[in-house]
Structure 1
């Protein structure tokens, strides 16, 4: 056995120790076990690679895009079929569709990240407060949640965008407003399972305030389930944003947003299919990647599943 192999074994034993000597060792051990479960799932790993590719494409869009995403040759390059010069063809304004799809990845990430940053904390706060407080506070917060859940997400988002006005920022706000109720439900269910546990009772006996208990001890226990749900919801968020863009209520021209690109290409879908087909395929691949990644995270972070 080589020294390197022996060192890897000792690190593995240290990470998998049943009696960690510090909080850092325990956290690293849990992360290592979760990574082993995740990496063993090939489909989940494929989803991770798709999302990494999306991040790379969005970050290097200025380098990867061969043409401008907003300007084209209207006289000589209108509705050209896919070729060596224009891999995805051109649209009705002579713009290179590949370049627009590449730059559209930035707007997709912009939407999903902002929605997650806005909706997830709101849902986590509402759910944990409702689950821990109980009584009339729980009843009021959950009835408000039920009101939002009673409407289809896209219809409710359409109503908010119609009130706020078209635009990518208003679309993000509308999607975030309609996305937090499922997170609140999950956080409340997690809180109900732990609020009467010995761990929380011990913290209460130490004199911790309800605010500190919710913020420092209950919320961290709900984060893993919330991360899984947010990842699985990314595909729905992308489709909702694309739907708003398709209806002209999301990103406005000439922004290269995938839903708006499909809307502009629907007139040519029978003869020049690539105009709407390329952004539609991009939405399909990215949505598939988020779904595969979410399924893998659910299996990896599920504390009830054993180590593989």
Structure 2
């Protein structure tokens, strides 16, 4: 039996960074520790993570954090500039508090982005790994379907679908998902082709592992890290697409405080009340930038050229 790790912080770090782990549990914790240190060594990635954690807090505790009801209209407070005691970021044309609407809008934006990833990543991962693992006519059929989906411009196809089925959050999720899965399928297929001829796959096959076990036990988990990094980097594009649909009236519907719709509603008073449209636009920019920074950090962490 291995001795328990020392309680001191230095002892914990030495135990986690050990090159000769005494158990599988220590090896797993050590790998996670080394990955975190590599991620924390990039200040920009930490900055992106901090912004996203703040977004999650706003989305989870919006009713407790928001100073006002985001739907409450006070016409006597119309178009108040930022800096007032009761409305820190000002108000819009109907006297609604912009800060409260931004906080509640974070919940809508994050929910749509997460729903898209939850739908798209499993579909793309399944299609790509099956095509790369089995090859032959299965690979040809699945990749030709993927090529057809890639041939359509993403934003045009999303707009066409959303316009055809009608506006709404669920329809926006479906519209974006239809256009987003082919890139993950291509990536998963490329990773699978790299792994399918690896020595450990041949060893597992000689030991009697079935095709299903090889695919689900070895191929899919090893492809997941690359797909997750790609999903993190794509979150910025997804958020911009969500905002674009909201701006055109095809996403979340008024009076919902969706950021894209807030930008659209403020464009008519842009010269007289710049904050109505500019502040939601800054929120979209900040969150998109945060996801890009986080994705860059995760890509460095999961880069196979770096040892664990």
User: Normalising to structure 2: TM-score of the pair?
Assistant: 0.94
Alignment of 1:10-29 (within 5 A): 10-29=11-30
Instruction: Report how far residue 237 of structure 1 moved.
Output: 0.5
Name the counterpart of 1:147. Answer: 148
Name the counterpart of 2:74. Answer: 73
Residues 26-84 of structure 1, C-alpha deviation per residue, up to 9 Å, x if partnerless? 2222211111100000000111111111111111211111111112112x012222232
Instruction: Report how far residue 204 of structure 1 moved.
Output: 1.2
Q: Secondary structure at the match of 1:14?
A: helix
Partner Cα separation in structure 2 for residue 180 and residue 22 of structure 1: 39
Partner Cα separation in structure 1 for residue 272 and residue 6 of structure 2: 60
Name the counterpart of 2:32. Answer: 31
Partner Cα separation in structure 2 for residue 188 and residue 24 of structure 1: 31
Instruction: Report how far residue 206 of structure 1 moved.
Output: 2.1
Task: Kindly indicate whether residue 180 of structure 2 is the aligned counterpart of residue 195 of structure 1.
Answer: no
Partner Cα separation in structure 2 for residue 43 and residue 65 of structure 1: 28
Instruction: Report how far residue 220 of structure 1 moved.
Output: 0.6
Partner Cα separation in structure 1 for residue 7 and residue 96 of structure 2: 58
C-alpha RMSD over aligned residues:
1.7
Task: Kindly indicate whether residue 280 of structure 2 is the aligned counterpart of residue 294 of structure 1.
Answer: no
Alignment of 1:109-128 (within 5 A): 109-128=110-129
Name the counterpart of 2:138. Answer: 137
Q: Which moved more, 1:125-134 or 1:23-32?
A: 23-32
**Residues 6 and 12 of structure 2 are in contact (CA less than 8 Å); yes or no, is this contact kept in structure 1?**
no
Q: Where do 5+ consecutive residues of structure 2 fail to align?
A: none
Residues 238-257 of structure 1, C-alpha deviation per residue, up to 9 Å, x if partnerless? 00000000000000011100
Residues 87-139 of structure 1, C-alpha deviation per residue, up to 9 Å, x if partnerless? 22111111111110010000011011111111001111011001101111111
Alignment of 1:190-229 (within 5 A): 190-229=191-230
Residues 138-195 of structure 1, C-alpha deviation per residue, up to 9 Å, x if partnerless? 1111111111212221111112212221101100111112111111111111111110
Instruction: Report how far residue 7 of structure 1 moved.
Output: 4.0
Name the counterpart of 2:252. Answer: 251
Task: Kindly indicate whether residue 149 of structure 2 is the aligned counterpart of residue 180 of structure 1.
Answer: no
Using a 3 Å threshold, how does the CA distance of structure 1 residues 37 and 71 change in structure 2: closer, same or farther? Answer: same
Name the counterpart of 2:83. Answer: 83
User: Normalising to structure 1: TM-score of the pair?
Assistant: 0.94
Using a 3 Å threshold, how does the CA distance of structure 1 residues 207 and 163 change in structure 2: closer, same or farther? Answer: farther
Partner Cα separation in structure 2 for residue 83 and residue 50 of structure 1: 22
Q: Secondary structure at the match of 2:306?
A: coil
Instruction: Report how far residue 197 of structure 1 moved.
Output: 0.8
Q: Secondary structure at the match of 1:250?
A: coil
Q: Where do 5+ consecutive residues of structure 1 fail to align?
A: none
Partner Cα separation in structure 2 for residue 91 and residue 297 of structure 1: 38
Give the total of aligned pairs: 303
